[in-house]
């Protein structure tokens, strides 16, 4: 379907000024190729009609896609995480139900061809995972689909990425509203014009945020930009930072892929994370992902993003909802959020009460003597941060990526974490782990003693937020 071309007054005026001043002659820029205006002087802040997107940009009829590394190879193999990230890219188009889609695929490099995904992971329980269609070179006619959905392109390889295609969207698909951080100037105009899609897409450096149209309509341009800016800050200076993704070695490069965050109509779950996506109930969206509340109560958003980062080598069975909050708290500190002090009060009291127990059989992995187990266990990880700072977790992540341990048993994961904690901190932490009820083979404590490390100058088990 051809999209109408809008010639803006500022463009005409600019061309006239160049002609009058005798500037260097240049061929007129076609509207299809004109970059989307940003915030620079002279560009409109809000337009009455949607800005014509640049060729190859999201929402353009003609887009080019480069092959990328498969999410399992990157997230699980390189980064040593549990959940593969969102290894697909948005097109800015929506396929209405029962509509035939036609598009043309041209091979520009290599021989591999992408897949088209119809629908968004976990957006709707009617289609929890998108329909995947393998594309072929030339014209593709995709039969009418009863559900439709946003269109995405998955173009991945477990080898070295080398292929490239150009896709021309011809008939069937309609535009969906798309807000790009620090770029979009026509948000309201898009919402007024692109009414055929029940969802809208907001994106920044790190995430794809998919929301229902009703939520998009109530989210102004400034609010949308603030949400996306805050997410980038929390991820870049918080979750990615504490994960040691500093580019200092190939294994410590930032991920290729973003993470999908989608509003979902699934009942019974407040928020969750799984392969290729995180999803949020409308109530959690209200609580954590609005401009008014993301700073004060964004914990749930950072928490689900944190699940996509948990390294498996030191996440034994009781830590699924524990180590995730290492990233949550790092993000909260980065944005000066309300959750940065989440462990004050009752969590501190519960942890100190557990530490004070003299029962030799107390067990870190059991809730029998532990109140609010997940947050009490988190307090142990927090005390290591209080004692040794950000660098403790940065080095733990980096060494886990470099060493690539392949562990499955809880005992092996606990041993790995305990030894790493000691070598990274440069301290014998046996007393600390015994106080926390780490009931491992005595041989692990013997190994720690064999490292010949000094005791901590300050007992980490006494530390708490001031």
Q: 264 and 199 in contact (C-beta within 8 Å)?
A: no
Distance CA 265, CA 426 (A): 48
* Higher per-residue confidence, 123 vs 21: 123
Lowest mean pLDDT among 43-52, 230-239, 240-249, 263-272: 43-52
Report residue 409 as tokens: 């048993």
Segment 289-316 mean pLDDT: 97
Distance CA 190, CA 1 (A): 17
What is the per-residue pLDDT across 163-204, written as a single tens digit (0 to 9) for each? 999 999 999 999 999 999 999 999 999 999 999 999 999 999
What is the model's pLDDT at position 30? Answer: 30
Q: 385 and 464 in contact (C-beta within 8 Å)?
A: no
Distance CA 155, CA 115 (A): 6
**In a 10 Å sphere around its CB, with 0-12 CB exposed, 13-18 middle and 19+ buried, how is residue 409 labelled?**
exposed
Could you confirm whether domain 62-285 is CATH 3.40.50.720? no
Query: Chain-wide mean pLDDT for the chain?
Result: 91
Q: What are phi and psi of 60, to 5 degrees?
A: -75, 150
Report residue 394 as tokens: 């940065």
Report residue 252 as tokens: 């410590």
Report residue 95 as tokens: 């396929």
> Distances in Å between the alpha carbon of 307 and those of 27, 274, 286, 364?
51, 8, 20, 21
Segment 105-122 mean pLDDT: 98
Q: What are phi and psi of 271, to 5 degrees?
A: -165, 155
Distance CA 135, CA 1 (A): 19
What is the model's pLDDT at position 45? Answer: 55
**pLDDT higher than 90, residue 334:** yes
**pLDDT higher than 80, residue 367:** yes
Distance CA 340, CA 318 (A): 23
**pLDDT higher than 50, residue 104:** yes
pTM: 0.89
Contacts of 212 (CB under 8 A, 6+ apart): 198, 199, 200, 263, 282
**pLDDT higher than 50, residue 32:** no
Segment 323-339 mean pLDDT: 97
What is the per-residue pLDDT across 57-84, written as a single tens digit (0 to 9) for each? 999 999 999 999 999 999 999 999 999 9
What is the model's pLDDT at position 5? Answer: 32
Rounded to 10 degrees, what is the CA torsion of 283, 288, 290, 292? 110
Residues β-bridged to residue 273: 278
**pLDDT higher than 60, residue 38:** no
Among the four given CATH numbers 1.10.760.10, 1.10.390.30, 3.40.50.620, 3.40.50.11900, the one describing domain 342-462 = 1.10.390.30
Share of the chain above pLDDT 90, in %: 87
pLDDT band at 48 (very low <50, low <70, confident <90, very high): confident
What is the model's pLDDT at position 31? Answer: 29
* Domain boundaries of the chain, sorted by first residue: 62-285, 342-462
What is the per-residue pLDDT across 417-432, written as a single tens digit (0 to 9) for each? 999 999 999 999 999 9
Segment 149-168 mean pLDDT: 98
Residues β-bridged to residue 181: none
Q: How many CB atoms lie within 10 A of CB 264?
A: 25
What is the model's pLDDT at position 46? Answer: 63
**pLDDT higher than 90, residue 7:** no
């Amino acid at each position: 379907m051809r999209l109408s071309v809008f010639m803006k007054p500022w463009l005409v005026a600019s061309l006239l000024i160049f002609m009058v001043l005798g500037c260097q002659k240049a061929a007129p820029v076609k509207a299809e190729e004109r970059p989307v205006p940003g915030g620079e002087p002279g560009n409109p802040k809000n337009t009455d009609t949607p800005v014509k997107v640049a060729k190859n940009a999201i929402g353009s009829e003609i887009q080019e896609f480069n092959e990328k590394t498969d999410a399992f190879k990157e997230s699980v193999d390189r980064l040593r995480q549990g959940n593969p990230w969102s290894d697909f890219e948005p097109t800015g188009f929506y396929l209405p139900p029962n509509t035939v889609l036609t598009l043309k695929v041209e091979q520009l490099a290599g021989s591999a061809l992408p897949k088209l995904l119809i629908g968004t992971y976990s957006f709707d329980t009617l289609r929890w995972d998108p329909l995947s269609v393998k594309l072929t070179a030339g014209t593709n006619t995709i039969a009418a689909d009863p559900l439709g959905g946003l269109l995405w392109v998955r173009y991945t390889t477990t080898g070295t990425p080398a292929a490239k295609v150009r896709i021309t969207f011809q008939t069937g698909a309609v535009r969906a509203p798309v807000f790009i951080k620090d770029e979009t100037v026509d948000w309201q105009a898009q919402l007024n014009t692109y009414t055929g899609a029940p969802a809208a897409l907001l994106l920044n450096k790190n995430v794809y945020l998919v929301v229902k149209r009703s939520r998009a309509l109530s989210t102004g341009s400034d609010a949308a930009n603030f949400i996306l800016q805050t997410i980038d800050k929390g991820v870049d200076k918080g979750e990615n930072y504490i994960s040691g993704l500093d580019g200092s070695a190939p294994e410590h490069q930032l991920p290729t892929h973003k993470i999908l965050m989608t509003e979902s109509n699934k009942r019974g779950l407040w928020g969750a994370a799984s392969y290729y996506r995180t999803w949020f109930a409308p109530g959690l969206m209200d609580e954590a992902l609005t401009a008014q509340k993301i700073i004060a109560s964004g914990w749930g958003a950072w928490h689900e993003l944190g699940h996509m980062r948990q390294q498996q080598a030191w996440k034994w069975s009781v830590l699924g909802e524990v180590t995730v909050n290492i990233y949550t708290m790092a993000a909260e500190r980065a944005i000066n959020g309300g959750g940065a002090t989440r462990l004050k009060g009752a969590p501190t009291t519960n942890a100190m009460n557990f530490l004070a127990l003299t029962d030799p059989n107390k067990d870190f992995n059991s809730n029998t003597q532990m109140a609010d187990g997940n947050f009490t266990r988190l307090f142990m990880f927090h005390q290591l941060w209080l004692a040794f700072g950000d660098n403790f977790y940065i080095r733990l992540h980096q060494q886990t990526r470099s060493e690539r341990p392949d562990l499955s048993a809880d005992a092996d994961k606990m041993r790995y974490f305990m030894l790493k904690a000691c070598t990274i901190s440069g301290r014998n932490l046996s007393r600390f782990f015994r106080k926390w009820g780490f009931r491992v083979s005595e041989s692990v404590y013997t190994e720690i003693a064999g490292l010949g490390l000094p005791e901590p100058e300050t007992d980490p088990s006494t530390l708490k937020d001031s």
